[in-house]
Structure 1
Amino acid sequence: MTAVVMTTVGMQRNSPRIWLEGRKLEREGFRPEVTYRLDDSRSDSLTLVAAADGDRVVSGRKRQAYRAPIIDIANKILYRWFKNGETVRIVIRRRRIKISVRRHRASEQVADRVRRLTTKLKNNQPLSIYSLFHGGGILDKALHSGLERAGIKSRVDVAVEMNSRYMDVSIDRHPELFSESTIFIEGKIQDVWLGDLPHADILVCGLPCTGASKAGRTKNKLAKAEDHPEAGALFYYFLDWVRRSNPGAVLLENVPELISTATMAAIRNVLESFGYIIQERIVSGTFFGSLEARKRLCMVAITEGMESGFDLASVEPIYRKPDRLGVALDDVPLDADVWRTYSYLTAKEERDKADGKGFRMQIFTPDDSEIKTLTSRYHKGGSTDPLIAHPNDPQKRRKISRFEHAKIKGIDVSYVEGPEMTETLGHEVMGQGVTPGAFEAVAADLGKAFIASVQEEPEALVA
């Protein structure tokens, strides 16, 4: 049998010390009074060998009726192999005890990431992107465009999305993101068998927000985000993909409310243990050129060794926001059927006021400088979804079209063209998507930082 002990090198009277005790020693032949010797022939490990001619003796101490074996080595000779406070791996098997420095898995992973990224960047090879909860590919398109601005090629090698309609939209609208080797996985991330997953360079994830958002928690009567029966545990699978694919950088987006959840605390702790440097920022759509006042949490985790030069807080907009909402609105005839009274929403607003609730209709005009968030359920006509006021009739409003939605968000209208793109589908894929201008700017700065890291310290990066 074999016993493995992970422990740290201590100190006693200015000498390093390694202490072992218990039945695991006895079981492998190191009982009290057994003699042993030190085999110091290797530079990477120290071995204790039980032997009749050994110059050291296993001691013991009484524990009730049992005398427990103890091996206590406190000698400056240990400095040949180990440092004070260093973690060591001790393998006890068949009258031999091998003590070696624990190979730090995270350190190996960090070195692998840096080597891969450095090699690809130096050779102008496309970076491999893994996309989780891919949706309609709006975030991935922004990442691709931002990296391209920095002179970096990229391709999505794996895309995971459970909604086939959303995946079809991305494949059709964003052919430049993919290659012949791209793997499209349609299904729940919980059902995906990872197997021997190749390594990625960047992993991007739009973690579902139904448990963390204010609306989601209210609708589902959740005390906390993790209580959501479907979305509450999805962060676990995201972290498992990070662990297995070992990307050089991780880009995560979500609702701002996620920042103070137990989910986010777990994500931070795990990624830091993997050797990532984490930066977070709440990005505003209007700051980054959109007419939509959408705020999202943006987290960028960069592997140690490549993080210098990137400052998420300093990312500046690429695009300028239009001054008026009207530039994104269509010329709709004043007698068109889309103008409605929405009397049921007016009645609901009155009931909410009477009940002391804060829900109010949101009515906008072409002269407004921005519009509130357009959600994936906009087509359903919720009580707080933004509406456009009729120019002449104060009782009538209308919904915005999918084409207006695209222009408001900063998406090319070609994304929502075509007979297969309905109003419902268009609002769904864009409503759950990001403000592309914000994440394009983030990706551009990330790419520039990668390039600078390779140019400034190539030897340090590949060491």
Structure 2
Amino acid sequence: MSIRVAPYTSYHELAKKNDNSRIWLEGEPLLRAGYEPGGFFRVSFNMDNLTVRLQFIPDSAEARKLHKEKQVRKVSGRKMKDWVKPIVDICNADVTKLFGDFCRFRAQAFANGVIEFGVHPEELSRIQRESAFKTNLEKGELRKGDAFLGIGISSAGITEGFNRIGVRTKQVWAVEMEARYLDVACQNAPEVYRNAHLFAGKVEEIEKDLLEPVDAFSFSMPCTNHSLQGKAKKALSTAEDGDEVTALFGVVEMIKAANPALLFSENVPAAKDSVTYKLLIKELTRLGYTCKEMILDQKHSGALDRRTRYWFVAYSNGLALGDIDVAEQDMVFANFGEIMESEEAYTGSWHDIEKLKRREAINKEKGRGFSMSLLTPASSVINTLPRNITKHQVSNPVVPSSDLKSYRLPTVHEHADMKLVPRRLVGHASATTAHEGLGQGIAYLHAVGLAEATLSKAMGKHSDQLALSL
């Protein structure tokens, strides 16, 4: 029988038989390695490397003697139409011990009569990330990476949630397409990013071999194409029609490269039922993660800004954290009056409110649902302030003057306070950049609460209700 010279790699589910694990191979991969039915093979186990090695031995009197003495095994076969398929099958206590709790294996056949069985690479990655996570958690410091960093709001929230459980974070790397956002994040938290590898670019183009392993990964894929307004503006029938959809592939590659045990992500509520997120969660499930989805709103943020977001946390299956419940929060500020700057203290620009009124009237005539949103000291629920607030769109919340003849935009600090984002995270930036970062950012306690709830499960601890430090 001729030997094929190229190797053959295949991936399999680990089977069970009589309470023992079973590995097997048949057909073309054995033919590649020169295995013939009626021939023999020797089996050796390497418990350190978690591999099983088979070496083919051609039929001979000596080989038959070794087989009789149970030192080698025989290649069996199955008659096909016009050929005999070779089969090897090993099921014993040694296989069970070597593969332990793993459920998949990889087989590689080589031209020199060697077959190697080993733990499936994705199974090995799962064990490695869980082992690293548990080790670092015991040390009290988790390695963290972020993508779509923005000006660092969500990242800071995840870090604060960990800190409230008594666990420090080491920022290993961060990815953001806008270099100016990275500048702001580094200026506002130099101690966080000083020793982190920073990437300015799209997640699709980042060289994944430059990403070091992390224990936790936080990311928020572009949300514009998922929102109703974004789809209407770009004339998209689905979010996947937008160019930004390729970010999904970059995110999956980053996850495989960095191999985190915990994943955190948020987006607009409509993203939950999108093809993008359904594919992402299917792939995470296949890679050995458990995904928990949730909608977090004002009950969970304690913020005046009523921002509602779709969040999910994914954890490596072996951590077995179960359901993740984010605690509801009391309102930190009762109304806008508690954070509002006085007209005397405000030094910015005022604008003619008649312009907004005219736009509102036009919208009503055309049947559009966009109307003015005026902030008063009594406002206790505030429509979400978007990233483009400086464009003076008619539906964005604005502050009217006491005589109702003019209006101003919320200040950066008011905007931050409405989302309970610590003011230290919006310094060193122009008002436009700060509003962008806040507008596309999160309700801060969503990230804090989710990170704390997740790590509480991992540590078997429960902390008191969140206390905010603005």
Q: What TM-score range do you get, normalising by the shorter chain?
A: 0.7 to 0.9
Deviation readout 1:427-459 (Å, 9 max, x if unpaired):
111111111122112222233333328xxxxxx
Listed as ranges, the gaps of 5+ residues in structure 1 are 454-463
Cα distance between partner residues in 1 of 2:57 and 2:103: 23
- Aligned counterpart, 1:456: none
Cα distance between partner residues in 2 of 1:72 and 1:414: 66
Deviation readout 1:321-340 (Å, 9 max, x if unpaired):
32212112111159998443
Partners of 1:21 and 1:68 within 8 A in 2: no
How far apart are residue 178 of structure 1 and its match?
A: 3.1
Number of aligned residues: 434
Q: How does 1:19-418 map to 2 (within 5 A)?
A: 20-21=26-27, 29=34, 35-40=38-43, 44=52, 49-51=57-59, 58=77, 60-62=79-81, 67-71=82-86, 78-79=91-92, 89-94=106-111, 96=113, 98=115, 100=117, 102-124=118-140, 126-179=141-194, 181-195=195-209, 197-229=211-243, 231-285=244-298, 287-308=300-321, 311-317=323-329, 320-333=331-344, 338-393=349-404, 396-417=406-427
Cα distance between partner residues in 1 of 2:75 and 2:324: 58
- Aligned counterpart, 1:4: 9
Tell me which amino acid in the other structure corresponds to 1:35: G
Tell me which amino acid in the other structure corresponds to 1:451: M
Partners of 2:106 and 2:121 within 8 A in 1: no
Cα distance between partner residues in 1 of 2:401 and 2:343: 10
How far apart are residue 97 of structure 1 and its match?
A: 6.5
Deviation readout 1:197-243 (Å, 9 max, x if unpaired):
321011111222122122221111111112211x2110211111111
Deviation readout 1:96-130 (Å, 9 max, x if unpaired):
37374x51323322222222222222233x32111
Deviation readout 1:259-314 (Å, 9 max, x if unpaired):
10111111111212222221121111454221101011221112233343x64334
Cα distance between partner residues in 2 of 1:273 and 1:267: 10
How far apart are residue 359 of structure 1 and its match?
A: 2.3
Cα distance between partner residues in 1 of 2:14 and 2:449: 47
The alpha-carbon distance between structure 1 residues 344 and 172, as it changes in their structure 2 partners (threshold 3 A), is same
SS at match of 2:207: coil
SS at match of 1:322: coil
Deviation readout 1:13-62 (Å, 9 max, x if unpaired):
xx98967346x66565457xx63234356584566544255676755433
SS at match of 1:185: strand
Partners of 2:294 and 2:311 within 8 A in 1: yes
Tell me which amino acid in the other structure corresponds to 1:122: E
- Aligned counterpart, 1:457: none
How far apart are residue 380 of structure 1 and its match?
A: 0.7
Which one of 416, 428, 438 corresponds to residue 446 of structure 2? 438
- Aligned counterpart, 2:71: none
Deviation readout 1:143-176 (Å, 9 max, x if unpaired):
2222111111112121111222211111111234
Tell me which amino acid in the other structure corresponds to 2:445: G
Identity level (%) = 22
SS at match of 1:195: helix
Listed as ranges, the gaps of 5+ residues in structure 2 are 47-51, 65-73, 97-101, 462-470
Cα distance between partner residues in 1 of 2:30 and 2:132: 43
Deviation readout 1:383-434 (Å, 9 max, x if unpaired):
32112234333x54332122211221213334445xx532212211111111
The alpha-carbon distance between structure 1 residues 447 and 69, as it changes in their structure 2 partners (threshold 3 A), is same
Which one of 428, 447, 450 corresponds to residue 455 of structure 2? 447
Tell me which amino acid in the other structure corresponds to 1:406: A
SS at match of 1:305: helix
How far apart are residue 378 of structure 1 and its match?
A: 0.5
